[in-house]
Amino acid sequence: MKGPIVCNASPLIALEQIGQLSLLQHLFGQILITPAVGREVEPTLSKRPAWMEVRSLQQPMGARVLAASLGAGESETISLAVEVSASRVLLDDRPARRLATVLGLNVTGTLGILLAAKQRGLVEQIKPLLEALLTHDFRVSEALLEQVLQRAGE
């Protein structure tokens, strides 16, 4: 991969809740988060791993990001991903994903991370992980869950 990976709070929180945060390091090595994301995940992550670097924006957020009415974490994440020419941005929020896609970013969410982990042999099954996510108020449509399980061969 050419550029860095930038991650929003929701995949970090979801993966930490099901004990799978280390999948990010195995899949991507180093990831970047913004200060707003760092503050958002602080209550969930007891200690920020060394492979997760907090990086501040060097330029002001673009007008399209500001106009999108996203949360601070999503706005900073998308802006940083554009600024550093990220090879991938990790986001779950649907409006944020739409904007990131419009801006030409390669978007993956928590379910995509789990699917990639299965494809790389880092986890044997993702169905138990998906079920665990749902117990932590992770919101996803039944249709998308079925699609992911089908792609995983489960």
Mind giving me the DSSP string for the chain? Answer: --S-EEE-HHHHHHHHHTT-THHHHHHHSSEEE-HHHHHHHTTT-SS--TTEEE---SSPPPHHHHHTT--HHHHHHHHHHHHTT-SEEE---HHHHHHHHHTT--EE-HHHHHHHHHHTTS-S-SHHHHHHHHHTT----HHHHHHHHHHTT-
Task: List CB contacts of 63: < 8 A, sequence separation 6 or more.
Answer: none
Reported as a pLDDT band with limits 50, 70 and 90, residue 128 is very high
Question: 141 and 76: one domain?
Answer: no
- Name the token pair of 134: 């749902």
pLDDT of 2 strictly over 80: no
Domain that holds residue 120: 113-151
Question: 59 and 127: one domain?
Answer: no
Question: 72 and 25: one domain?
Answer: yes
Total domains, the chain: 2
Mean pLDDT for 5-18 is 96
Mean pLDDT for 34-62 is 92
Question: 100 and 121: one domain?
Answer: no
Question: 117 and 107: one domain?
Answer: no
The CATH number of residue 32's host domain is: 3.40.50.1010
Question: 53 and 65: one domain?
Answer: yes
Residues 111 and 130: beta-carbon distance below 8 Å: yes
pLDDT of 1 strictly over 80: no
CA dist 129 and 125 (Å) reads: 8
Question: 42 and 103: one domain?
Answer: yes
The torsion of the CA quartet 65, 145, 26, 38, rounded to 10 degrees, works out to 40
Question: 64 and 124: one domain?
Answer: no
Question: 25 and 84: one domain?
Answer: yes
145: left (phi over 0), alpha (psi -120 to 50) or beta: alpha
Question: 22 and 97: one domain?
Answer: yes
Mean pLDDT for 98-123 is 96
Whole-structure pTM value: 0.93
Question: 105 and 144: one domain?
Answer: no
Question: 119 and 96: one domain?
Answer: no
Each residue of 57-94: pLDDT tens digit? 998 888 778 778 899 999 999 999 999 999 999 999 99
